[in-house]
A and B are shown apart, each in its own frame.
Chain A
């Protein structure tokens, strides 16, 4: 049987059974109502009794008339009998009884009697004996008619009763058959309902199984599953939620969510639940939750979704998962990464520094090589040529000439020695073997002494010295190193300025520092780099053809700095070079002028 036909039968069968049931019931009720109505007995159906009472009253009247003649009955009794007789007659002649008498065929006798009533009345009142036969003659047809009517009434009543019983029996049978129909329809309905109940039970059992499975799913979930209704009352609280929040399901279920845990009273969480109750899906990640039994917070990812019944929102479902471990792992990874970055950065810096050092070293050696090739070769060539000339002209040379050549060679050797000493000084400086013995030193005297020594080589008049007004500038320094620096600066000025041009030395005291500026005429275009001047073995482009190894300024600056001072190339007008030596003044030094004797360098 097809599904559709089955469904149709499932509806059509009970409906038709109900229709049949109702129709038969209505029919039965109608029949029963008919029966009830038919069972009423009207007084007119009691005609036999009425007729018999009339008959008796007629007979009693006849006897009373006879008794009256014999003197046995008084007038009052006769009148009573006559009244009773008239009353019975009137009853028969009235309304329903009259119609009944007509049906029984006794109406004619009644009419005849009514016509002879005046005569009967007067006969009875006369009281004479001869009227008795006449009275009997008048009553006789009435009595005969009543006898006949009684007979017919009896037959009619019995016939009526029989017919009524027949009709009743027929109606009863109809009712019985209807009842059987009703029972059958009822049986069909009962069977249908029993089957429907069985189906419903089966369905509810399946539903219960599905519900149990759903509950098992929710209970087994590792994620906390919480459902709340529109009043934020908790309706579902699974095992994972119990473990996370430490609240049993029987406590949580039915309670307000905010009463279950303070976590749900936090503004963000409350807002998220409100949003979900209005139909939005909300996700809150890494929300801290402080359980009552520990001080370390747990971190919870919370997702809220609306629960819908069709279009209507009936609540919200919250999925809460404990992400504390994941968060800790992420933090550890981040920390590790930061640490690695720092390590790499430090290592890179180290490598950069090493590279810079290596480059500087390479530059140093390259500059050193260049310097050696230039500066050492010249004196060696001079020595060589002097020796060659001595050897070639050994026979012709005068002792003067030999002395001259020897002096030339010695001068070159002396130059070489100076170069080597300078290089060694630089090496000592690098090795930290230079000692500084600072003391109060009159720079004015120092400058004057160096100038006088220099004038021996350059000739007088080129160098002018300007001292500050008043007191002589006293510096707190090592006089040996200060002299070395000034000598270097002055020899540079002599060496790199055109001949006969003036060289000025200016001393100023700023209070904390003594500044000693050596100014000379220089190239128009600056052909050197400011800071490169102070690098070891650096030689500017204007040094070509001039002896030197490029450690002078390097040494000068290093020594000045060792004493807390400096050597700087100052800004100047074009065509001028201004080199300044800065040294701490006596005021800033640790010693005092009075306590210490000024050391005078011997000339």
Chain B
């Protein structure tokens, strides 16, 4: 098992399961600083639950998975309110799925949809404008479990 540096501040994302790089007790913990160190990705799209087009900043899910050496086929994303959704891992290769920490230049807050929100490029791919993709937009993302 390779090690990655531990977070310096309270973690906001916890990844476990079939991964090769960890930092704490069989899991990889990330604070905001570590996440911001990942390659920054930007995306402009409308969402199903807000009005108008929004500008999102964050990192690509596949960059994160590569960073921690994920090997599985399914990612289970779980939110603060225990909302859990299974996503096929190859979906992150087909689409530039973003994990956003900023919307319209403002950090996402835990009291709204932050600190992390899974954003699909909805406007860029018509097939994503579907209720079966809408439920994968997990906000208040806290845990990822790779299987």
Contacts and interface: CB of A to CB of B under 8 A. Distances in A.
Given A87-B111, A90-B111, A95-B52, 19 more contacts: A40-B131, A41-B131, A42-B131, A43-B48, A44-B48, A44-B49, A53-B83, A82-B111, A83-B140, A84-B81, A84-B140, A87-B80, A87-B81, A87-B139, A88-B81, A94-B49, A95-B49, A96-B51, A97-B49
A110 B31 CA distance: 34
B32 to A, nearest CB: 16
Interface string A68-104: 0000000000001011101110110011110000000
Interface in B30-76: 48-52
B112 interface: yes
B81 A43 contact: no
Enumerate the 6 nearest inter-chain pairs by beta-carbon distance, A residue then B residue, closest first.
A95-B51, A43-B48, A86-B111, A83-B110, A43-B134, A84-B81
A83 B134 CA distance: 22
A46 interface: yes
Contacts of B110: 83, 87
A384 to B, nearest CB: 172
- Main secondary structure, interface of B, reads loop
Given A43-B48, A95-B51, A96-B49, A80 B80 contact: yes
Interface of A: 40-44, 46, 53, 57, 80, 82-84, 86-88, 90-91, 94-97
Contacts of A95: 49-52
Interface in B106-135: 110-113, 129-131, 134
A2 to B, nearest CB: 59
A53 B52 CA distance: 24
Contacts of B130: 40
5 contacts: A80-B80, A83-B111, A91-B113, A94-B50, A95-B49
B115 to A, nearest CB: 10
A87 B131 contact: no
Contacts of A90: 111-113
A84 to B, nearest CB: 5
Contacts of B134: 43
Nearest to B140: A87
A46 B48 CA distance: 11
Given A83-B110, A86-B111, A90-B112, A42 B49 contact: no
B139 A43 contact: no
Interface of B: 48-52, 80-81, 83, 110-113, 129-131, 134, 139-140
Nearest to B137: A43
A525 B93 CA distance: 157
Nearest to B52: A95
A87 B112 contact: yes
A269 to B, nearest CB: 77
A83 B49 contact: no
Contacts of A43: 48-49, 131, 134
Contacts of A82: 111
Nearest to A91: B49
A80 B142 CA distance: 11
Given A42-B131, A43-B131, A57-B81, A87 B49 contact: no
A95 B51 CA distance: 5
Contacts of B48: 42-44, 96
Contacts of A96: 48-51
Nearest to B50: A95
B110 to A, nearest CB: 4
A46 B13 CA distance: 28
Contacts of B113: 87, 90-91
A83 B111 CA distance: 4
A46 B131 contact: yes
Contacts of A86: 111-112
A125 B14 CA distance: 27
B114 to A, nearest CB: 9
A234 B49 CA distance: 83
A44 B46 CA distance: 14
A504 B48 CA distance: 172
Nearest to A95: B51
Nearest to B133: A43
A53 B131 contact: no
Nearest to B10: A76
Contacts of B83: 53
A520 B141 CA distance: 180
A173 to B, nearest CB: 27
B132 to A, nearest CB: 10
A577 to B, nearest CB: 152
A57 B111 CA distance: 12
Nearest to A89: B111
A46 B135 CA distance: 10
Contacts of B111: 82-83, 86-87, 90
A44 B130 CA distance: 12
Nearest to A60: B81
Nearest to B48: A43
Nearest to A41: B131
B133 to A, nearest CB: 10
B60 to A, nearest CB: 24
A399 B5 CA distance: 220
A96 B80 CA distance: 23
Contacts of A41: 131
A43 B132 CA distance: 10
A242 B48 CA distance: 89
B51 A83 contact: no
A46 B131 CA distance: 9
A83 B50 contact: no
Contacts of B49: 43-44, 91, 94-97
Q: Name which of B48, B111, B131 has the most chain A CB atoms within 10 A of its CB.
A: B111
